[in-house]
Homo-oligomer: A and B are copies of this chain.
C-alpha cells in the first residue's frame, strides 16, 4: 500500500463513520441487544459492531454498568408522555400500556431495568409524572405512595409473570404461571402422568383454550396484563373513594 493509498483509506474511514460518541454507542448497544439478545451484548462485541477497538468505548461509558444505565434511559425515553384528559384512570392506563409496548419492542429491557441498582434519570422522570397522574386524579399522597409500590415494576409495563412464554424472544420479558400449565397440557403428546400429578394446572390450561384457539400456549398475554392492571386500578379508585389512609 502506498502512502497515498493509506491516507485515502484513513480519510474514507473517518468520513464513512461518524466519530464515536455516547449517543452512537448507546444506540448501537440497544440495536445489538434487540437483534442478538442481551446475553450476546458484550463490550467486545459492541466495539466490533462499531468497528472500534474495545477500549475506545470506555471513553464514552465508564464501564458496562453505565452502558446498561444508558440503555435503560434510552428505552424508557421511548414511552409516550402522559396524555391529557379528565379521566385519570384512562390516562394512567394508556401510559402503562405504552410502556408495555416499548418493553415488547425491547425484550431484554425488563431484565436490564430490574438489574439497575438505582433509578436512572429517565426512570425518575417517568415515575414522577406517573405519580402526578394519580395525585391529580384525587388520590392522597399517602395512597399514591402505596399505589406506586403496589404497581411495582408493572408501572413500566412489565408482565411480571413467572416464566417466559414460549414465543417471547430470548431474554424473557413476559412469563406465564398459568401458561406453564398450558405447556404441561399442550406440549406434544400430553403425558397423562402430568395431568394427574398437577390436576389443577391441567384444569387451568383447559380453561385457557376451550375457546376458538387451541394452538400454542393458549394465553393472551395482553388480556392477562390488562386484567391485572384494571383490577389494580379498580382497587385504587375504590380506596380513594373510601378516603383510605394507612393507619399510623
- A contacts, CB < 8 Å to B: 111, 113-119, 123-125, 127-129, 131-132, 135, 140-142, 144-146, 148-156, 158-164, 172, 175-181, 183-184, 197-201, 203-204, 206-208, 211-212, 219, 223-224, 227-228, 231-232, 234-236, 239, 246, 248
Contacts and interface: CB of A to CB of B under 8 A. Distances in A.
Q: How many copies of the chain does the oligomer comprise?
A: 2
Given A123-B180, A152-B161, 5 more contacts: A116-B163, A127-B162, A141-B204, A144-B207, A153-B160
A177 B149 contact: yes
A131 B232 contact: no
Given A119-B162, A125-B198, A200-B131, A145 B180 contact: no
B235 A141 contact: no
A156 B200 CA distance: 17
Contacts of A207: 140-142, 144-145
Contacts of A180: 118-119, 123-124, 127
Contacts of A146: 178, 223-224, 227
B201 A124 contact: yes
B152 A204 contact: no
A198 B124 contact: yes
A177 B151 contact: yes
Contacts of A159: 152
A148 B162 CA distance: 10
B204 A163 contact: no
A86 to B, nearest CB: 19
A149 B172 CA distance: 16
